[in-house]
Structure 1
């Protein structure tokens, strides 16, 4: 069997993996990045390109006052107290430095998005996600300390005689290769959105959801960690994102007209949720409706309040693609989407009356999204309906890690030599999800894991 050695072995070529590789390479380590598919990027490159940062120059430019402490409070609140606060604090203490670090390596941040869930102030910083990963990969390769191996699948973690993780057994071009790592191995291989059996095991309520993610996200890292006794968290909080068109196969992104004032109704023509909540909670709600589908209902004014620079708010493009159902009256719209006309009209009327008179509509909605925006009536045609289900873009749960990103086993002890970052860690999000926190944690925790690779468990630099 062939054998090779490096200082730091990174399993997974997405955002977390390349942040870790670049960070470790800057510290002088020789790094090998394994990517099982034909190209790097994974689910990171397919995402909406949102990262949650607080206290940035972009926010200041817009007069937005934010802080690490406010970000921490919002994350704990959105996670309903189910998150590991030490991980949330690790994120909030290091996110601003990571933002500046990313910029220093060529990542371009376009602007701050206002319509985002779980935030008391706007803090989602928008990027081209595929370009971000490419830029970090280029920066990592430019150090001369990083190798990227495509079509290389890690199958098993290896342990030295003292129990420390020492490398991995890798399939490469039909052969098995042992790759040893002098300092540490990082699991950054994403979640398991492409493994329906694992999804069913932990979240059977999402059996009929749409699944979108990197083709390599089959739970390899989770299984390899399990084999060494790794503990897991948040498996019961796997959630889909509301707003995915149920039949469109070309647009993989959610449309969130509800965050600009639309309401969500089910096939019975009734509202069923507070539309200002996290789109993960909206995903739970829609999966409980008939056929797992609802409709986002909006009027002319809301349609033209979208933002074509932001994928989730690009209503005009969805309209041009024929994904919206359009009608000149609400009566005609009800017929087109086959909901009971009298119930539907009464529901829209009750909602509009509550908004006009300053009352809280059913389900307690008070804002457009989280704590932002005044509610809008839906009364000026033409009117639109966007068929919407939940799409599972990521699993956001996985192995337990400590504040050094070391994987922790079922007895609460670190698996020596093994780190994890990105989508495959549990305990960070908790019960729900703040927009921008998934890519954010991949960048922040990936960078910190790379900086910590020389002495896992030591002080993070």
Structure 2
């Protein structure tokens, strides 16, 4: 069902008078993705009368398109079973270190309750495999339940906090619908409650009373329209990567040169609904953007240089951290340089091979780099790597190897040539329980947010870890549902 509010326009707020004779619910949830499903399930289990509205004909949203990574830690059952030591304090310290504007209250709650949240997820009807994948990959190639999916082993974080793997993946091979499996189970659990689900039914407006509190939702289903009264409304309607006007205004880096990661309904409706009642937006200029150059893991031993022939990032960084830094370079241009001993495969699916050269000087000229720059950079790297050192960027010793066996090849990491993909990270300002806030930091009574339309832990690509969206979406979705359900007695 299409949104009736195109572009960046904010839907008008309706007055409480439209609710005369309307159906009444304790909690109305907008969006049946990961966050909305978790909010609806917890609210229903708390005894609230719940209505779940979904514009699509089926549940899932963008969450169902994901591989099924959940960023969880603090000593989960999977971490313990695979001998990977972690603690809530270590998880807290790491997330505080990599997050640009960390909210200590949210991160503390997420770290402290992360292990228990994994247990809650498994109680839906599945188990993360008790196995660890030790390689360098974007996602586990098999059904392994745990791997490093962030920058825990990357300098300076590995020196600040004891590293621990926290990327828990649903037991599906590779990137094949793990998120959808969890959504299917959530749908089954919701069906066991008294919650009502209405598909092909989208929220169009919020309804407020004289005090400004949100007290209802207007909806549309094809040509049919209506309103429902609600003690609380939880917005979980996704991000805005599929809204060209909002992308152009807030995250122009997610322009025509990128492949957008999202569903049809990631059009910013949830953010615009929040704005209609003066909700604040946070981190709207930030996005997750990436074009991974690994696997194969041997490629991490190479060097990444810019148009000046200079390195600018530790090559063992999580792939979106590397991409984040590529986009800061002149013309968003960069090249991965490898020797013949470390090119296990001649092609990369996202970053094309430019050419091969018998001499570094020839490669330098072929790439149009300043004379002598790449020769100097590669010589210094090789000298240090031979000693197991990287004084310039502190690449982990596991990924240090001289690139001195000709011929040499260069892969193009340049935006517009390499295939970059991304999604938005900005969202509605909210507290740890999902209560939506104004610019002044005051609570908008009756309104909650979770998932990709809420601003929580994921704030930029440089600090992102795979699994953060599903992890925080499900966790803070649960908190929002419980908190929203708690208002029903006072309404």
Instruction: Tell me the TM-score range normalised by the shorter chain.
Output: 0.7 to 0.9
Map of 2:322 onto structure 1 = 282
Map of 1:112 onto structure 2 = 146
> Which deviates more, 18-27 or 64-73?
18-27
* Distance (Å, rounded) in 1 between the aligned partners of 2:207 and 2:445: 12
Alignment check: 8 A CA contact 1:11 1:187 kept: yes
Distance 1:233 1:456, change over 3 A: farther
Map of 1:440 onto structure 2 = 471
- Per-residue CA distance 1:203-228 (angstroms, 9 max, x = gap): 34554551222221111111111111
* Distance (Å, rounded) in 2 between the aligned partners of 1:229 and 1:399: 10
* Distance (Å, rounded) in 2 between the aligned partners of 1:227 and 1:216: 19
Distance 1:162 1:64, change over 3 A: same
Map of 2:243 onto structure 1 = 195
Map of 2:481 onto structure 1 = 450
| 1:322 shift after superposition | 8.8
Map of 1:45 onto structure 2 = 64
What is the aligned length?
429
Map of 2:400 onto structure 1 = 375
Distance 1:350 1:445, change over 3 A: same
* Distance (Å, rounded) in 2 between the aligned partners of 1:103 and 1:302: 40
For 1:4-403, list aligned pairs within 5 A: 4-54=23-73, 55-80=75-100, 82-109=101-128, 110-114=144-148, 116-118=150-152, 120-127=163-170, 128-141=178-191, 143-181=192-230, 183-207=231-255, 209-210=257-258, 211-236=260-285, 238-243=286-291, 260-266=300-306, 269-298=309-338, 319=348, 325=353, 331=359, 334=363, 338=367, 340=369, 343-344=373-374, 346-362=376-392, 364-367=393-396, 373-379=398-404, 386-388=411-413, 389=415, 391=420, 393-403=422-432
* Distance (Å, rounded) in 2 between the aligned partners of 1:228 and 1:40: 27
Q: Indicate the SS of the match to 2:311.
A: coil
Distance 1:298 1:169, change over 3 A: farther
Distance 1:202 1:37, change over 3 A: same
TM-score for the superposition, normalised by structure 1: 0.81
| 1:347 shift after superposition | 3.4
Q: Indicate the SS of the match to 1:240.
A: strand
Alignment check: 8 A CA contact 2:28 2:232 kept: yes
- Per-residue CA distance 1:56-89 (angstroms, 9 max, x = gap): 1211222111011111110010014x12111111
TM-score for the superposition, normalised by structure 2: 0.76
Alignment check: 8 A CA contact 1:232 1:398 kept: yes
| 1:338 shift after superposition | 4.5
Map of 2:446 onto structure 1 = 417
Q: Indicate the SS of the match to 1:180.
A: strand
Q: Indicate the SS of the match to 1:347.
A: helix
Distance 1:330 1:413, change over 3 A: farther
* Distance (Å, rounded) in 2 between the aligned partners of 1:259 and 1:23: 44
Distance 1:8 1:322, change over 3 A: closer
Structure 1: gaps (5+ residues) = 246-253, 305-314
| 1:99 shift after superposition | 0.5
* Distance (Å, rounded) in 2 between the aligned partners of 1:303 and 1:196: 39
Q: Indicate the SS of the match to 1:352.
A: helix
Distance 1:417 1:269, change over 3 A: same
* Distance (Å, rounded) in 1 between the aligned partners of 2:488 and 2:357: 63
Structure 2: gaps (5+ residues) = 1-17, 129-143, 154-162, 171-177
* Distance (Å, rounded) in 2 between the aligned partners of 1:242 and 1:178: 41
| 1:5 shift after superposition | 3.4
Q: Indicate the SS of the match to 2:455.
A: coil
Alignment check: 8 A CA contact 1:230 1:415 kept: yes
| 1:361 shift after superposition | 4.8
Map of 2:11 onto structure 1 = none
* Distance (Å, rounded) in 1 between the aligned partners of 2:385 and 2:424: 36
* Distance (Å, rounded) in 2 between the aligned partners of 1:261 and 1:158: 56
Distance 1:115 1:162, change over 3 A: closer
